[in-house]
Amino acid sequence: MSHDSILLLTSPSFSGFVENLGYIGIFIWFISLDQFTPIPEEITLLTIGYLAAHGIFNPFIAGIVSLVAFLAVDTAYYFLARSGNEFFQRFYKKKHRPFMDKYKKNIQENLPRTLIVLCFIPRMRMFGPITVGMMKLPYKRFILFDGIGVAIFTAIYISLGTVFRKSLELAELKHVIFICAMVGLAVIIFIFMRRMNREKKDAA
């Protein structure tokens, strides 16, 4: 199967974007389009690992680029929230207060654990830098533990994507299986997010 076919058969939006841009495409994706598209970061990282197993990326370099992009975005969120940015103030107020207050309390009691845990909850990682920034906690302490959490998160999902690809080497429909697995994961994340939103509404 050709290089173009592999890219089209994996995550179409992400793969098509990085086809000609390579590592720069990964960085641009995470600092821009990733913030607005519904594609979970978990699926994008799995796709990077899958493509790395095909020799399209070096998994270590791709992981470093992804990590730098994540930290750049988190740093921007932190300082915007810390400065009292109106958008983030409205964002905080729009969320259900019991839900936000819970994470604020967790951050006050155990910042390292809370930041690392948030990295592994789909679409919840952004709450870390925003909440910490609004609380005006030290940036160095925030970026240290946020970096640890994001590094673990990135390494795990890229590795899983690589292992998943290698486990399919004998399967004739390996690309179809990969797509089905990604769709299944997306559905699970969607259901998880809906359940969390329902719980937040019930708690309000």
> What pLDDT does residue 52 have?
83
- The length of the chain in residues reads 204
Asked if 35 and 76 count as a contact pair (C-beta separation under 8 A), the reply is no
pLDDT tens digits along 170-181? 444 455 555 555
CA proximity to 142, closest of 99, 87, 100, 81:
81
* Number of domains composing the chain: 1
Domain with 95, as residue range(s), is: 3-203
- CA dist 80 → 13, 32, 130, 156, 203 (Å): 28, 16, 8, 29, 28
The 10s digit of each residue's pLDDT in 66-99 is: 999 999 999 999 999 888 878 777 766 665 566 6
Residues of the chain with pLDDT under 70: 1-20, 91-100, 165-204
pTM of the model: 0.72
